[in-house]
Amino acid sequence: MSLKFWWTLALAGACAFAVSVWVGDWWTVGDATIGPFGSRACFGGECSARGLAWIGADDLWMRSAIATGVAGVVAMFVLTGVAGAAAARRVPRLLARTSLVSIITAGACGLYFVAKFPGVGGATAHVDLGPRLFALGALLGIASAIVVLRSHHLRTR
């Protein structure tokens, strides 16, 4: 398999993690959007960034939100290192193992964050693009790590 292919998997996974936690909204409730690092809501015609306290969730869920965001950023950082090492024609086995650990950790945090979402005062919350991008980043990152760890030597073409 060509180096060009698998380092793009790692880079695409890193981008998916970054967009999911920084830009991607995880839930939409009316005019409010909710993600791991906070929410954006419009109340009385005034739109602004807000925290997560207004949702009324317990402290453990709010901590899991921050843990999900930070774990996504860490996975993004490590996958960028995998992609960079591959672009430099290295075989980053240690970074690949580290990326698997960071992705598993991010997955555990993300699963709790999604599973324990308390809702917003009886309003209907719709799942948005954030969790899908998070899962896509995990799948692409795992695939790139497996390719690195299973390769004996990689050639560029």
Q: What is the pLDDT of residues 117-154, one digit of tens each?
A: 988 877 788 989 999 999 999 999 999 999 888 876 55
Q: Is the pLDDT of residue 68 over 80?
A: yes
- Cα separation, 18 vs 21, whole angstroms: 6
Domains defined along the chain, listed by start: 3-150 (1.20.140.150)
- Residue 18: its pLDDT value, please? 95
DSSP state string for 3-52 = HHHHHHHHHHHHHHHHIIIII--SEEETTEEEETTEEEEEETTEEEEE-S
- Cα separation, 136 vs 30, whole angstroms: 26
- CB 62, CB 52: distance < 8 Å: yes
